[in-house]
Amino acid sequence: MSRKNDRIEHLIEIIKNNNVGSQEEILRMLSERGIFVTQATLSRDLKMLKTTKVPLDHGAYAYMLPDASTARVTSGGRRTADFSRHVGNGFISLEFSGNIGIMLTRNGYASGIAYDIDMLNAPEIAGTIAGANTVFIALREGVSHEKAAEVLSLILPVNNFH
Protein backbone atom coordinates (compact mmCIF):
# COMPACT_ATOMS: atom_id res chain seq x y z
CA MET A 1 0.00 0.00 0.00
CA SER A 2 1.34 3.45 -0.84
CA ARG A 3 2.17 5.96 1.86
CA LYS A 4 -0.70 8.18 0.73
CA ASN A 5 -3.21 5.31 0.79
CA ASP A 6 -1.96 4.26 4.20
CA ARG A 7 -2.25 7.84 5.47
CA ILE A 8 -5.80 8.18 4.06
CA GLU A 9 -6.88 4.89 5.67
CA HIS A 10 -5.59 6.06 9.05
CA LEU A 11 -7.24 9.47 8.56
CA ILE A 12 -10.61 7.86 7.80
CA GLU A 13 -10.30 5.62 10.85
CA ILE A 14 -9.41 8.58 13.10
CA ILE A 15 -12.37 10.66 11.90
CA LYS A 16 -14.84 7.76 12.11
CA ASN A 17 -13.80 6.71 15.61
CA ASN A 18 -13.13 10.07 17.33
CA ASN A 19 -14.79 13.44 17.69
CA VAL A 20 -11.85 15.44 16.36
CA GLY A 21 -12.48 19.14 15.95
CA SER A 22 -9.14 20.48 14.77
CA GLN A 23 -6.45 19.66 12.30
CA GLU A 24 -3.94 19.89 15.13
CA GLU A 25 -5.72 17.01 16.89
CA ILE A 26 -5.65 14.94 13.72
CA LEU A 27 -1.97 15.69 13.13
CA ARG A 28 -1.21 14.56 16.69
CA MET A 29 -3.20 11.34 16.27
CA LEU A 30 -1.50 10.61 12.95
CA SER A 31 1.93 11.23 14.47
CA GLU A 32 1.07 8.80 17.31
CA ARG A 33 0.64 6.22 14.54
CA GLY A 34 3.99 7.12 13.00
CA ILE A 35 2.50 9.18 10.16
CA PHE A 36 4.02 12.65 9.87
CA VAL A 37 2.48 15.16 7.43
CA THR A 38 2.26 18.90 7.13
CA GLN A 39 -0.91 20.81 7.89
CA ALA A 40 -1.18 21.67 4.18
CA THR A 41 -1.10 17.98 3.21
CA LEU A 42 -3.69 17.16 5.86
CA SER A 43 -5.89 19.99 4.63
CA ARG A 44 -5.73 18.62 1.07
CA ASP A 45 -6.53 15.12 2.33
CA LEU A 46 -9.55 16.39 4.27
CA LYS A 47 -10.78 18.25 1.19
CA MET A 48 -10.27 15.18 -1.02
CA LEU A 49 -12.30 13.10 1.44
CA LYS A 50 -15.03 15.78 1.39
CA THR A 51 -15.07 16.04 5.17
CA THR A 52 -17.24 18.61 6.86
CA LYS A 53 -17.17 20.10 10.33
CA VAL A 54 -20.46 19.69 12.13
CA PRO A 55 -21.62 21.09 15.45
CA LEU A 56 -22.05 18.60 18.28
CA ASP A 57 -24.77 18.84 20.90
CA HIS A 58 -22.45 20.43 23.49
CA GLY A 59 -21.27 23.30 21.26
CA ALA A 60 -18.01 21.81 20.01
CA TYR A 61 -17.37 20.84 16.39
CA ALA A 62 -16.10 17.61 14.85
CA TYR A 63 -14.99 16.48 11.42
CA MET A 64 -17.36 14.09 9.68
CA LEU A 65 -16.96 12.00 6.55
CA PRO A 66 -19.74 11.81 3.99
CA ASP A 67 -21.34 8.38 4.07
CA ALA A 68 -20.49 8.02 0.39
CA SER A 69 -17.08 6.82 1.52
CA THR A 70 -18.80 3.68 2.78
CA ALA A 71 -21.56 3.55 0.15
CA ARG A 72 -22.26 0.59 -2.05
CA VAL A 73 -24.36 0.22 -5.19
CA THR A 74 -27.42 -1.99 -5.07
CA SER A 75 -28.55 -4.28 -7.88
CA GLY A 76 -30.96 -1.56 -9.00
CA GLY A 77 -28.09 0.88 -9.49
CA ARG A 78 -28.93 2.94 -6.42
CA ARG A 79 -26.38 3.78 -3.79
CA THR A 80 -27.01 2.79 -0.21
CA ALA A 81 -24.89 3.91 2.69
CA ASP A 82 -23.91 2.57 6.07
CA PHE A 83 -26.43 4.46 8.18
CA SER A 84 -25.18 3.21 11.53
CA ARG A 85 -24.11 6.74 12.49
CA HIS A 86 -27.70 7.95 11.99
CA VAL A 87 -29.48 5.25 13.96
CA GLY A 88 -30.35 6.57 17.39
CA ASN A 89 -28.05 9.57 17.07
CA GLY A 90 -29.02 11.51 13.98
CA PHE A 91 -32.34 10.74 12.35
CA ILE A 92 -35.36 11.71 14.46
CA SER A 93 -38.49 11.87 12.32
CA LEU A 94 -39.99 12.29 8.87
CA GLU A 95 -43.24 13.86 7.77
CA PHE A 96 -44.63 15.02 4.45
CA SER A 97 -46.57 18.03 3.27
CA GLY A 98 -47.45 17.99 -0.41
CA ASN A 99 -44.32 17.18 -2.39
CA ILE A 100 -41.96 18.12 0.47
CA GLY A 101 -40.54 15.77 3.07
CA ILE A 102 -39.50 17.36 6.36
CA MET A 103 -36.91 15.33 8.21
CA LEU A 104 -35.79 16.26 11.71
CA THR A 105 -32.32 15.23 12.86
CA ARG A 106 -30.12 15.85 15.85
CA ASN A 107 -28.24 19.11 15.67
CA GLY A 108 -25.43 18.95 13.11
CA TYR A 109 -26.55 15.78 11.33
CA ALA A 110 -28.84 17.27 8.67
CA SER A 111 -26.09 18.08 6.19
CA GLY A 112 -24.64 14.58 6.26
CA ILE A 113 -28.05 12.95 5.94
CA ALA A 114 -29.01 15.27 3.06
CA TYR A 115 -25.77 14.34 1.31
CA ASP A 116 -26.58 10.64 1.75
CA ILE A 117 -30.04 11.19 0.28
CA ASP A 118 -28.60 13.08 -2.69
CA MET A 119 -26.04 10.31 -3.25
CA LEU A 120 -28.88 7.82 -3.73
CA ASN A 121 -29.54 9.47 -7.11
CA ALA A 122 -33.13 8.33 -6.68
CA PRO A 123 -35.42 9.45 -9.51
CA GLU A 124 -38.19 10.03 -6.94
CA ILE A 125 -36.22 12.79 -5.20
CA ALA A 126 -35.50 16.11 -6.90
CA GLY A 127 -33.11 17.33 -4.21
CA THR A 128 -32.54 18.32 -0.60
CA ILE A 129 -31.83 21.40 1.45
CA ALA A 130 -30.23 20.99 4.87
CA GLY A 131 -30.12 23.20 7.92
CA ALA A 132 -28.57 22.29 11.25
CA ASN A 133 -31.30 19.85 12.31
CA THR A 134 -33.78 19.79 9.42
CA VAL A 135 -33.68 18.40 5.90
CA PHE A 136 -36.23 19.50 3.30
CA ILE A 137 -36.66 16.80 0.66
CA ALA A 138 -38.26 17.85 -2.63
CA LEU A 139 -40.16 14.97 -4.23
CA ARG A 140 -40.70 14.81 -7.97
CA GLU A 141 -44.23 15.26 -9.29
CA GLY A 142 -46.47 12.28 -8.71
CA VAL A 143 -44.27 10.52 -6.16
CA SER A 144 -46.32 9.19 -3.25
CA HIS A 145 -45.25 9.69 0.33
CA GLU A 146 -45.12 5.92 0.73
CA LYS A 147 -42.76 5.56 -2.25
CA ALA A 148 -40.53 8.37 -0.93
CA ALA A 149 -40.38 6.72 2.50
CA GLU A 150 -39.49 3.41 0.82
CA VAL A 151 -36.60 5.08 -1.03
CA LEU A 152 -35.37 6.81 2.14
CA SER A 153 -35.52 3.52 4.03
CA LEU A 154 -32.59 2.37 1.89
CA ILE A 155 -30.32 4.56 4.03
CA LEU A 156 -32.35 5.56 7.08
CA PRO A 157 -34.53 3.82 9.67
CA VAL A 158 -37.73 5.24 8.20
CA ASN A 159 -40.38 2.89 9.52
CA ASN A 160 -43.27 5.23 9.92
CA PHE A 161 -44.00 8.81 9.07
CA HIS A 162 -46.75 11.37 9.50
Per-residue model confidence as pLDDT tens digits over 25-52: 999 999 999 999 999 999 999 988 888 8
Question: Does residue 24 surpass a pLDDT of 80?
Answer: yes
The pLDDT of residue 11: 93
CA angle 19, 25, 28 (to 5 degrees): 130
Distance (Å, rounded) from C-alpha 17 to C-alpha 78?
27
The helix (run of H) or strand (run of E) holding residue 32 is helix 23-32
Q: What predicted TM-score, i.e. pTM, was given to this entire model?
A: 0.51
Cβ neighbours of 146 (radius 10 Å): 10
pLDDT band at 134 (very low <50, low <70, confident <90, very high): very high
Range with the poorest average pLDDT among 19-23, 87-91, 95-99: 87-91
The pLDDT of residue 87: 39
pLDDT band at 64 (very low <50, low <70, confident <90, very high): confident
Do 135 and 114 meet the contact criterion of CB atoms below 8 Å apart?
Answer: yes
